[in-house]
Amino acid sequence: MPRSVRIGCYSAFWGDSVSAARQLVEAEDAQLDYLVADYLAEVTMGLLARNYKFPVHGKPGVGYISEFLSLVLAPLLDAILKKKVKVIANAGGLDPIGLKELIEAHARKVGLADQVKVAAVFGDDLLDRQDIFLQSNIARGFDPLNGVGQEEEILRSPNELLSLNAYTGAAPIAEALKRGANIIVTGRCVDSAAVVGPLAFEFGWDLSSLKDSDILDCVASASLIGHILECGAQATGGNFTDWKLSAFSRYGGWANMGYPIATVHEDGSAIISKPEKTGGLVTRDSVAEQIMYEVLDPANYILPDVVIDLTKVRLTQVAPEQVMVQGVKGKPPTPWLKCTAIAHQGFRINADLLVWGNEAESKAFALGSAIIERTNNVIFSTYQGKVPPIHKSDTNILIVGSDHSVSQFSPTISSTTREVVLRVWAKHSDKAALNILGQEVSSLVTSSAPGITVFATGRPKSGPNLLAASILVDRKHVLPKLLVGGCNNVIEVPFQLEGCQPIDPSATAVTFSPRLAGPIVRSAPRSIFREHNRIKLIDVAIGRSGDKGDNANVAIIARHPDYYPFLLDQVTPQAIYGTLGHLL
């Protein structure tokens, strides 16, 4: 049994830097045991499914992330095998078996088939069981604080469901490692499973021991480490409140961002670091921000393998660019598994225009309104009322430079502002009708005001409008499966059912419903230091926000314990909604 295991993460999403995997594999001080990656944001499964439903230029798409092979494994396979690094990624998407076969074909082509044993984890795709879930009434909505909500409407909606995938856990990955796999591709497993699986395998943790508090604490610790790593450079200075510390850090800053490495011990404690001579930073603040990313209730962070209690976590700066993570507590998982449903809800289009000169904001708003009105006029004349116009509620005029994204309470931009970007967005059930908007945008360049140009190389085109929703399914209805190497026998890795428990909502959780509360009146915040001295929130706190499909959090972390009571008093759900509610 190893004294410690080193795991590095090179990808936070499909589209992360192509240099990150090479950095972690080739850095002399990295010395990885495992290289992991997260490719699947919540909506990515829908994008992969869309490739099947709406092929580009008639070319059929694939259900997996082929760049996992072309950009990572193919160029680095020799080094990965030489250094005996095992690779785990959820790049399988909707077709982990297809990606497994693609990797095996490449290994044969380059003469390395005898050194590669690829496993595919699947069983998360529940799309063909939608009707069963409806008939059996076993699907529920996801409640951010209580876990189980009411029935989820997306399963009954008239919109076409493109994908429905459950978040599976770490047990299939651990089983694949036991069977000798050194490359593992999965479908929609929970992000942290790529870290929990190898740690359970290496340290001999029994993931089915849901009544063993020591095991639960270890699994919770491993899950938190996976949570810290899974967004790549967000733990090492990316998306960081004090961004200048990261941007202008030594060794190139953002241009040479270091990606995170966790050195994990058997008790679940870990040190977060990054390769030497890379940009970014690893501090208590950078790690704390990432810990709170996407967390809806710090006392109950719900995952398939465990429920994490983050309220006693300790972060210690043990050396420059090294932070120790300790104190994580675990609770038994709930009987439910979160699933993400992606539906096709009509079509959408957006057009971007640069507007400059005198009264740029007023000019942009008039332009956006004219584009929508002209489009509806053409729709009517073309279809003679047989196709409805674009409804006002299905449009948005966004003027970047007018503080629209910052706050509905921000002062109106000065008439002296001389440059803004106009985005006109619309959705509609009819693709052809919506494309009329794309046709009409360019005409306004010569039939409106001076100082306007279109940000495009051609006419804007409509595309599918995707709707995401989180639902819950009883875990007994989800069966993870496994294929390893050349063996065609499907291995079933069922979830542990005995010992699962519903959560108790955190005693400190505060609920607020804008639908019931009425209009929000923004009051002036009270001073932290003097009665008449107002300071910026950023001066006393750092923060991180993240989304899980149709749910998002705003996490605020006090820069000093003395500030915490004031933040509780002033940074309330009502205040957040009053500032950002217009974006919902």
Which whole number is the average pLDDT over 447-460? 88
What is the distance between the alpha carbons of residues 198 and 5, in angstroms, rounded to a whole number? 9
Residue found by looking up tokens 């790549």 in the block = 232
Identify the bridge partners of residue 89 per DSSP, sorted by sequence position.
Answer: 37, 185
* Contact by Cβ (8 Å): 87, 80: yes
pLDDT of 527 strictly over 70: no
Averaged pLDDT for residues 109-133: 94
CA pair distance 241, 526, nearest whole angstrom: 23
Tokens of 309: 């209690």
In 230-335, where does DSSP find H-type helix?
243-247, 284-291
Interval 97-110 mean pLDDT: 98
Distance in angstroms (rounded) separating the CA atoms of residues 170 and 193: 4
Give the lowest-confidence range in 70-74, 204-208, 406-410, 548-552. Answer: 406-410
DSSP string, 327-347: --EEEPPPSEEEEEEEEEEEE
Burial code (b: 16+ CB inside 10 Å, e: under 16) for 241-267 equals bbeebbeebeeebeebbbbbbbbbbbe
DSSP 162-211: EEEEE-B-SHHHHHHHHTT-SEEEESSB-TTHHHHHHHHHHHT--TT-TT
- Model pLDDT, residue 517: 52
Q: Which of 145-149, 417-421, 467-471, 576-580 has the lowest mean pLDDT?
A: 145-149
Tokens of 346: 């009509």
pTM of the model: 0.92
110: buried, middle or exposed (CB in 10 Å: 19+, 13-18, 0-12)? exposed
Q: Give the rounded percent of residues in the chain with a pLDDT score beyond 90.
A: 74
| Residue 142 confidence (pLDDT) | 78
The pLDDT value given to residue 145:
65
- Name the more confident of 237 and 523: 237
Task: Answer for the pair 91, 125: CB distance below 8 angstroms, yes or no.
Answer: no
> Is the CB of residue 401 less than 8 Å from the CB of residue 394?
no
Q: Round to whole Å and give the CA distance between 367 and 380.
A: 20
Residue 243 token pair: 């961004």
Query: Is residue 61 scored above 50 in pLDDT?
Result: yes
Between CA 231 and CA 233 the distance in angstroms is 6
Q: Are 17 and 67 in contact (CB under 8 A)?
A: no
Cβ 423 vs Cβ 351: under 8 Å: yes
Q: What is the pLDDT of residue 528?
A: 52
Does the pLDDT at position 120 exceed 80?
Answer: yes
- CA–CA gap between residue 522 and residue 414 (Å, rounded): 22
CA 170, CA 189: separation in Å to the nearest integer?
A: 8
Q: What is the DSSP-derived secondary structure letter of residue 412?
A: P
Nearest to 536 by CA among 545, 547, 527, 548: 527
pLDDT tens digits along 247-274:
999 999 999 999 999 999 999 999 999 9
Residue 196 carries which side chain, given as an amino acid letter? V
Task: Calculate Rg over the CA atoms of the chain.
Answer: 25
Angle at 294 between CA 477 and CA 559, to 5 degrees: 150
Rounded Cα distance between 253 and 246, Å, is 6
Collect contacts of 507-515 with beta carbons under 8 A, ≥24 apart: 507/299, 508/299, 509/145, 509/297, 509/299, 510/572, 510/573, 511/145, 511/573, 512/572, 512/573, 512/574, 512/577, 514/577, 514/581, 514/584
Strand partners, 466: 344
Q: Is the pLDDT of residue 246 over 90?
A: yes
Stretch 479-494: mean pLDDT: 96
Q: What is the pLDDT of residues 195-225, one digit of tens each?
A: 999 999 999 999 999 999 999 999 999 999 9
The helix/strand/coil state of 310 is: coil
- DSSP string covering 53-107, please? HS-BTTB---SS-THIIIIIIHHHHHHHHHTT-EEEE-TTTT-HHHHHHHHHHHH
- Rounded to whole angstroms, the Cα distance separating 328 from 267 reads 10
Rounded Cα–Cα distance for residues 10 and 80 (Å): 14
Q: According to the model, what pLDDT value does residue 157 have?
A: 76
Mean pLDDT of the chain: 90
Q: Measuring CA to CA, which residue among 420, 426, 425 is closest to residue 400? A: 420
- Alpha carbon dihedral 164, 166, 172, 177, in 10-degree steps, equals 70
Burial class of residue 107, CB neighbours in 10 A (0-12, 13-18, 19+): buried
Cα 450 to Cα 363: distance, rounded to the nearest angstrom: 9
Burial 304-316 (b: 16+ CB within 10 A, else e): bbbbbbbeebebe
User: Which domains are assigned to the chain?
Assistant: 4-124+167-333+479-492 (no CATH), 345-466 (3.30.70), 514-583 (no CATH)
